[in-house]
């Protein structure tokens, strides 16, 4: 099942790794592969998927992958060309295999509890994905191939396109409304097994957030305490004892 946590009434939720405009990007990875994808030894190894998001081939011999912030050039890719819009699977097995004619293996493994992942070349850090905890057979994938927006997916697509963007459709347009109404949500992804979870208090949605079912009742809550308006935005100097300096 594909799980996407997109809606927060009061905040926005997107996974945004740092990326320095690179043609080659980390497009998806899995850190707890049980039976989704096997290597040539029939081992279910962790894996990273690279994607050439450009219109020209890229030679990868000057590219590096790492899980070590102290050594972002931990593993160098071999002399192999990645064609435009092509995917490349790298097994993170620790087996360190770099023969371009065979499946490639890094010299490190990935931690399912989360760790930094770095893509770099000889000159720059190109992409840094912060630690994310994944369950069995879950992947961390860009919503659209080559994008910087990521989501946790239970439907991995190693070596193939990810979901090409997800648009959440609202049954009622934004604005001021005089009467309460049921807000219905839908998506145009083409997948039937998607979960949408949301929050109503500004918190970032996660796996424990409310699961959207049939509708969300939008009603008059003007008599309730407005907790969002009470979030302080100005420092409290009431107990300040030092001399103010300008």
Strand intervals (E) in the chain: 2-8, 18-19, 24-30, 46-52, 58-59, 63-66, 75-76, 81-82, 87-92, 104-105, 117-121, 125-129, 139-142, 150-153, 168-170, 181-183, 185-187, 194-199, 210-211, 216-218
Min mean pLDDT across 33-47, 101-115, 190-204, 229-243 is at 229-243
pTM: 0.63
Q: Report the pLDDT averaged over residues 109-137.
A: 92
Q: Report the pLDDT averaged over residues 201-215.
A: 76
Query: Confidence band (pLDDT; 50, 70, 90) for 68?
Result: very high
Report whether pLDDT(140) > 70. yes
Q: Report the pLDDT averaged over residues 213-225.
A: 83
220 or 235, which is more confident: 220
Query: Confidence band (pLDDT; 50, 70, 90) for 235?
Result: low
Query: Confidence band (pLDDT; 50, 70, 90) for 34?
Result: very high
């Amino acid at each position: 099942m594909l799980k996407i946590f997109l809606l927060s009434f009061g905040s926005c939720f997107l996974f945004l790794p740092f990326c320095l405009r690179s043609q080659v990007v980390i497009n998806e990875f899995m850190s707890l592969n049980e039976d989704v994808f096997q290597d040539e030894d029939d081992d279910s190894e962790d894996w990273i998927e690279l994607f050439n998001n450009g219109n020209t081939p890229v030679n990868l011999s000057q590219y590096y992958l790492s899980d070590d912030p102290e050594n972002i050039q931990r593993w160098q890719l071999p002399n192999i060309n990645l064609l435009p819009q092509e995917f490349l699977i790298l097994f993170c097995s620790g087996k360190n295999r770099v023969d371009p004619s065979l499946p490639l293996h890094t010299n490190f493994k990935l931690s399912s509890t989360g760790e930094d992942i770095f893509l770099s070349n000889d000159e720059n850090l190109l992409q840094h994905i912060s630690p994310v905890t994944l369950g069995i057979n879950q992947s961390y994938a860009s919503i659209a191939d080559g994008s910087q927006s990521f989501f946790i997916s239970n439907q991995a697509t190693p070596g193939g396109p990810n979901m090409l963007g997800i648009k959440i459709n609202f049954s009622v347009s934004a604005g001021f409304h005089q009467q309460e109404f049921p807000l219905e949500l839908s998506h145009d992804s083409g997948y039937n097994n998607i979960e949408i979870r949301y929050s109503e208090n500004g918190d970032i949605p996660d796996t424990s957030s409310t699961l959207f079912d049939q509708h969300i009742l939008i009603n008059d809550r003007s008599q309730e305490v407005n907790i969002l308006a009470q979030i302080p935005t100005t420092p409290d100097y009431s107990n300040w004892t030092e001399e103010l300096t300008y």
